[in-house]
Amino acid sequence: MSSIDEITGKPLLRSMIGDRIWRIKESDPVAFKREVREYFARGYPGWTVVRAKHPYIFLRDDRGQGV
């Protein structure tokens, strides 16, 4: 798995989340996506969640891009 963004060609930030959020991935994927987006919106404003592959969440730096 590449940690390069397919859109921008730039490296992605690899981060992690707690087990509480990972546990809901299989049972409620919609809630999982919502929780992950909210989690990183608070801690990494301007970054976009691109991919989730246990144990990592991959983020793209969209600060200053108007995204």
Amino acid 47: pLDDT: 95
What domain count does the chain have? 1
| Strand arrangement, sheet containing 56-61 | 13-15, 56-61, 47-53
Contact 59, 47 (CB under 8 A): yes
Look at residue 6 and tell me if it is in a domain.
no
Look at residue 4 and tell me if it is in a domain.
no
**Cβ count within 10 A of residue 11:** 13
Q: How confident is the model at residue 66 (pLDDT cuts 50, 70, 90)?
A: low
Query: Higher model confidence: residue 56 or residue 2?
Result: 56
In this prediction the pTM is 0.85
Look at residue 67 and tell me if it is in a domain.
no
Look at residue 66 and tell me if it is in a domain.
no
pLDDT tens for 9-60 read 889 999 999 999 999 999 999 999 999 999 999 999 999 999 999 999 999 9
Amino acid 64: pLDDT: 81
Look at residue 31 and tell me if it is in a domain.
yes
Show the domain range for 57. Answer: 13-61
